[in-house]
Amino acid sequence: MTRWWVVTDLDGTLLDHHYDWQPAAPCLRALKRRGVPVIPCTSKTAAEVRAFRRAAELNGPYIVENGGAVYGAGEPLVLGRPSDQLAQQLDALAQELSVPLRSLNACTLPEVQALTGLAGEAARLALARQWSLPFLPPAAEHWRALQAAAEQRGLAVVQGNRLAHLLARGCDKGQALAALRRRCAPPGLRVLALGDSPNDLPLLQAADVAVVVPGANGPHPELQAGVSSSRWQLAPAPHAPGWAAAVAAVLGLS
Enclosing H/E stretch for 131: none
Dist. CA 103–CA 90, nearest whole Å: 8
The dihedrals phi and psi of 152, each to the nearest 5 degrees, come to -65, -20
Dist. CA 160–CA 147, nearest whole Å: 14
| Bridge partners for 167 per DSSP | 156
Residue 209 in 3-state DSSP? strand
Catalytic-residue membership of 9 = yes
Comparing CA positions, the residue from 149, 147, 136, 190 lying closest to residue 5 is 190
* Residues 43, 199 contacting (CB under 8 angstroms): yes
Residue 6's alpha-carbon distances to 61, 93, 104, 231, 239, in angstroms, are 11, 36, 29, 18, 15
Residue 220's alpha-carbon distances to 65, 122, 216, in angstroms, are 20, 26, 10
**Catalytic residue selected from 9, 11, 16, 200:** 9
Kindly tell me the burial class for residue 19, based on how many C-beta atoms sit within 10 Å of its own C-beta (0-12, 13-18, 19 or more).
Answer: middle
Active site residues: 9
